[in-house]
Amino acid sequence: MNNLIGSDADSQRTLYPYVTGTSVVGIKYKDGILLAADMGGSYGSTLRYKTVERMKSVGKHSIIGASGEISDFQEIMRYLDELILYDNMWDDGNSFGPKEVHNYLTRVMYNRRNKFNPLWNSLVLGGVKNGQKYLGTVNMIGVHYEDNHVATGFGNHLSRPILRDEWHENLTFEEGVKLLEKCMRVLLYRDRSAVNKLQIAKITEEGVTISQPYSLKTFWNFAAFQNPTVGAEGSW
Amino acid sequence: MFRNQYDTDVTTWSPAGRLFQVEYAMEAVKQGSAAIGLRSKTHVVLACVNKASSELSSHQKKIFKVDDHIGVAIAGLTADGRVLSRYMRNECINYSYTYESPLPVGRLVVQLADKAQVCTQRSWKRPYGVGLLIGGLDESGAHLYYNCPSGNYFEYQAFAIGSRSQAAKTYLERKFETFVDSSRENLIKDALFALRETLQGEKLTSSNCTIAVLGIGEAFSTLDQETVQRLINEFEVVGEDPPAEASAAPDQSDGAEPGPAAAAAAAAADDDDQETPAADQGAAPMDI
């Protein structure tokens, strides 16, 4: 049967996500861009996968971090790898920078939502090219913007207030990592989808480095953590 | 009797390894009125001679803006030139929609050359009869390319195409080493002087030429007539008196032996009443 949207055969769309990753946080710092994301892959509310890499390099100048549907992120990476390969094959000294990749992704995301078949992700794009730092984000309906610090999902609510208070232009690498870890620790405490295994990715004029997975120190002995229902009459 | 057996089809080789139809198309470029281009590290200047096809008509436009960072000057069939300009404008606008950045000039030139090449390998098509001087600016600086109907393309420091372009080329060859560090004004000056070389028995005025400039911090634009006239006066680019060099520099460019191709060119040019009788000079009826 055909309807306004398309035939039934076309209706194999992502109606809701299956395996998802949670927040990505990104900041500019003195020499480039830092991104942080944990490695959890949730199957609904089940913490099903523990070693999902959600940050990847894109060509020489860019890095991408993804939250949302993991399989859609894998498809996006196929698009980007093709894009970068095509760019390299010109072999003419020109290359896509983070701005070009971000804009390309914005077009892809918006185009897919117009087909009522969105790629179910929020993406963070960072990079450095010709001394210019770039940090932006785009989501599943094509909303996009640039900023000095960005976050996806819960990070928007829990990390960005911290970043607004504490971020400044001249953060060193160490200060930047410390700030990101502060954000990730808050997310770990308050976001039930977050897991305590994360990576930090760095991009500078020299290139991309993505850290080995590691854990944050936590302290669960606060009274509110020990007995969370006190003062919340009627909850279990 | 001695009709060329190998020129009825674009895709037919002659035993000597030539494609006559393609060569004829290149001949059409030589018969268009002259267009020149030159560049420094930061700027590109395009210039062309405007000729009206009759006393009663105005001239056709030969310099087109493709985008803020790319412009093109053409010689040959203007109709083909406009089609290709529209193609290039489309490519630029699509690229900047997708990537929000300007299309690298070299890539556009390759795409254009590939498009021209296809026409040399399909029996039901004809090659484009137009040569394009493409000036542009990108990440790697200012560029000047020449695209020709055969699908070949070359990058130049300075170049001239069209009728009597050899005279302009001679001028440019003498001075091109100074162009790299040249200022915007000096580039325009050299463009005007080179352009003058292609005129025969005519004065260079703002009404028979067009100049366009493009550079770092300056989007592609053609100079208005008053500006051009002011520059002509300022640089004292005086025209030549008619008899002085009437027989100078017949356009025997780049060693192409006058074979059947030249004969065809002569045939194509013979109903051109404004020009000197010399067969390989002047504009073809379809161009101008």
Residue B277 has pLDDT above 70, yes or no: no
What average pLDDT does the structure give for chain A? 94
Query: Domain spans of chain A?
Result: 16-226
**A110 at interface of B, judged by CB pairs closer than 8 A:** no
Which A residues 38-97 touch B at CB under 8 Å?
90, 92-94, 96-97
Phi-psi region of A207 (alpha: psi -120 to 50; beta: other; left: phi over 0): left
Total domains present in chain B: 1
**B139 at interface of A, judged by CB pairs closer than 8 A:** yes
User: Which among B98, B106, B138 has the least Cβ separation from residue A104?
Assistant: B98
Encoded amino acid at A92, one letter? D
B149 located within any domain = yes
Per-residue pLDDT of A148-196, as tens digits, reads 999 999 999 999 999 999 999 999 999 999 999 999 999 999 999 999 9
Residue B280 has pLDDT above 60, yes or no: no
B39 located within any domain = yes
Per-residue pLDDT of B177-216, as tens digits, reads 999 999 999 999 999 999 999 998 889 999 999 999 999 9
**Looking at beta carbons, which residues of chain A come within 8 Å of B69?**
none
| pLDDT value of residue B271 | 41
The ipTM assigned to this model is: 0.89
User: Which among A90, A92, A99 has the least Cβ separation from residue B100?
Assistant: A99
Taking residues A61-77, what's their average pLDDT? 98
**Looking at beta carbons, which residues of chain B come within 8 Å of A96?**
99
| pLDDT-based confidence at residue A232 (cuts at 50, 70, 90) | confident
| pLDDT-based confidence at residue A8 (cuts at 50, 70, 90) | low
Task: Tell me the nearest-neighbour CA distance from A93 into chain B, angstroms.
Answer: 8
Per-residue pLDDT of A18-32, as tens digits, reads 999 999 999 999 999
Selected residue with higher pLDDT from A235 and A198: A198
Report the predicted TM-score, pTM, of the whole model to 2 decimal places. Answer: 0.85
Residue B240 has pLDDT above 80, yes or no: no
**A231 at interface of B, judged by CB pairs closer than 8 A:** no
User: Which among A92, A93, A100 has the least Cβ separation from residue B101?
Assistant: A100
Residue of B nearest to A96 (CA): B99
Residue A29 to residue A7: CA distance in whole angstroms:
49
| pLDDT value of residue A2 | 57
Residue A70 has pLDDT above 90, yes or no: yes
What average pLDDT does the structure give for chain B? 87
User: Which among B98, B101, B107 has the least Cβ separation from residue A107?
Assistant: B98
The percentage of chain A sitting over the pLDDT mark of 70, rounded to a whole number, equals 94
**Three-state secondary structure call for residue A26:** strand
B14 located within any domain = no
| pLDDT value of residue A222 | 87
| pLDDT value of residue B272 | 42
| pLDDT value of residue B149 | 97
Residue A120 to residue A141: CA distance in whole angstroms:
9
Domain extent at residue B132: 21-50+57-272
| pLDDT value of residue A4 | 57
**Looking at beta carbons, which residues of chain A come within 8 Å of B101?**
97, 99-100, 103
Residue B282 has pLDDT above 50, yes or no: no
| pLDDT-based confidence at residue A231 (cuts at 50, 70, 90) | confident
Selected residue with higher pLDDT from B99 and B278: B99
Measured from the Cβ of residue B40, the count of other Cβ atoms closer than 10 Å reads: 22
Taking residues A89-109, what's their average pLDDT? 96
**B104 at interface of A, judged by CB pairs closer than 8 A:** yes
Per-residue pLDDT of B19-48, as tens digits, reads 999 999 999 999 999 999 999 999 999 999
Active-site residue, A46 included? no
Alpha carbon A5 to its chain centroid, in Å, reads 30
B161 located within any domain = yes
Please count the residue pairs, one from chain A and one from chain B, whose beta carbons lie less than 8 angstroms apart.
Answer: 31
The 3-class SS string of chain B reads CCCCCCCCCCCCCCCCCCCHHHHHHHHHHHHCCCEEEEECCCEEEEEEECCECCCCCCECCCEEEEECCEEEEEEECHHHHHHHHHHHHHHHHHHHHHHCCCCCHHHHHHHHHHHHHHCCCCCCCCCCCEEEEEEEEECCEEEEEEECCCCCEEECCEEEECCCHHHHHHHHHHHHHHCCCCCHHHHHHHHHHHHHHHCCCCCCCCCCEEEEEEECCEEEEECCHHHHHHHHHHHCCCCCCCCCCCCCCCCCHHHCCCCHHHHHHHHHHCCCCCCCCCCCCCCCCCCC
| pLDDT value of residue B201 | 85
Taking residues B238-242, what's their average pLDDT? 56
At B266, which CATH number? 3.60.20.10
Residue B247 has pLDDT above 60, yes or no: no
| pLDDT value of residue B236 | 78
| pLDDT value of residue B1 | 75
- Say yes or no: domain A16-226 is CATH 3.40.50.300: no
| pLDDT-based confidence at residue A109 (cuts at 50, 70, 90) | very high
B250 located within any domain = yes
